[in-house]
Structure formats: structure tokens, C-alpha cells
Amino acid sequence: MKWSITQLKKNQNEPFTFDKEIDMNYLTERVDELIDISPIKVTGDVQVRMHDIIVNLDITGVLTLPCARTLKPVELPFDTTSTEIFELDESSDREGVYDEARHKLDGGMVNLLPIIEELVILEKPMQVFSEGSEDISLAGNGWEVIGEDQVESTDNSDEESSEKKVDPRLQKLQQLFDDNK
């Protein structure tokens, strides 16, 4: 996904279109919790203007992530669009103006791969849930999942019950403390 300026200027009167499929499976090693990634389909067009090169992108694919509750793999399809602008003039009067969609040319080349990688990574949500994950058991043999409001009431009742109940093995020590009062 790399083109030279001269190659793009040949198509200056009409948009240069592209339709590619990219294997980005290497992102599974760089991005946390990404189990798998399908080949990414990238379509779009490039328009050369007087001072800019405008790239319209449409990126589709499928990310496989672990369910936040069960850790089962969940396939998450995505479809994102973006408009990226590359500046042809090296001595731009926009110096110091930050714009996330504006890019400098890389050695006289328009390189879309880092931009596509960033857009794919941004599509990864914080959590995904598999179907039926809300039906998982909330209690088992000797354990139970509780909410925050139950934690506070449990803490208070534990303090009260610990004051009332004395371990029978330590009952003699309790009598020692009672004698000192």
C-alpha cells in the first residue's frame, strides 16, 4: 500500500482507485488480547490536488478477541472509513498546526500501511462478550459472586460476627484479656 508521487500524478485528472487484501496477522503479537485477525480488505481512492493528496479508505475485517467473562473466542466484524491527507509541499505554512488526518510524505511516497494498522487497532474494543455469557453461574461450591453494595454489608457483618464469635481454641486467651480489665 505504497505509491510514489509521480505514479499518483499520472492519474491527476481522475481518482486512482485501489482494492487490496492485506494479511495483518502479525498484529496478534503486538496488540494485547488479539487472538486472530482475518485478512483486511482495503478499498478506496486517491485524489491528487494542488498541495495535497487525499486518500479515502474503507477498511473491513474480523477481529477475534477473548470474551471478558468466559475467555471464549469472539469474532467481531468491523467496517471503518477514514479520509487521510498527505501534504505535497514540504515547506507547508501549516507548521505547528496539529491535525490527526494530515501526514507528511515518507521519502516521496504515500505509505498507507501504518495508517491502516492504527485504524484496525482503534477498532478493538475494551471488552467483548460472547453469546450466553450472561448465563454463567454466579455461585458454586464454596464461592459466590457478589456486587459492590453487598461487599460493604458483608464487611460490616463480618466485623460484628467476628466480635461475637471467639475461636474455641483461643477462648482461654480471651479470659486472660478479660482479667486485665
pLDDT of 72 over the 80 cut: yes
Residue 40 contacts residue 22 (beta carbons within 8 Å): yes
Structural domain contains residue 139 = no
For residue 177, is it within any domain? no
Q: What is the pLDDT of residue 73?
A: 92
Mean of pLDDT values over 49-75: 89
Q: Is the pLDDT of residue 66 over 90?
A: yes
Structural domain range at position 37? 2-132
The pTM of the full predicted model, rounded to 2 decimals, is 0.68
Tell me which amino acid residue 149 is.
D
pLDDT given at position 117: 92
Cell of 4: 510514489
> Residue 159: inside a domain, yes or no?
no
**61 and 68 Cβ atoms separated by less than 8 Å:** no
Q: Is residue 11 part of a domain?
A: yes
User: Higher pLDDT residue, 8 or 181?
Assistant: 8
Inside any domain, residue 141: no
User: Which of 75 and 144 is assigned the larger pLDDT?
Assistant: 75
| The predicted structure's pLDDT at residue 174 | 72
For residue 155, pLDDT beyond 80: no
CA–CA separation, 157 and 162 (whole Å): 8
Per-residue model confidence (pLDDT) at position 41? 96
Yes or no: say if 69 and 52 are a contact pair by the CB < 8 Å rule.
no
The predicted-structure confidence for 92-147, as pLDDT tens digits, reads as follows 555 555 466 678 777 778 888 999 999 999 999 998 888 876 766 667 777 777 77
Ranges of H-type helices in the chain: 5-9, 27-30, 113-122, 148-164, 171-180
Q: Is residue 145 part of a domain?
A: no
Confidence of residue 159 (pLDDT cuts 50, 70, 90): low
Split into its structural domains, the chain has a count of 1
Residue 43 lies in a domain: yes
Q: Decide if pLDDT at 71 tops 90.
A: no
Cα 137 from chain centroid (whole Å): 28
**Looking at the domain assignment, is residue 22 inside a domain?**
yes
Burial of residue 91, with CB atoms counted within 10 A of its CB: 0-12 exposed, 13-18 middle, 19 or more buried: exposed
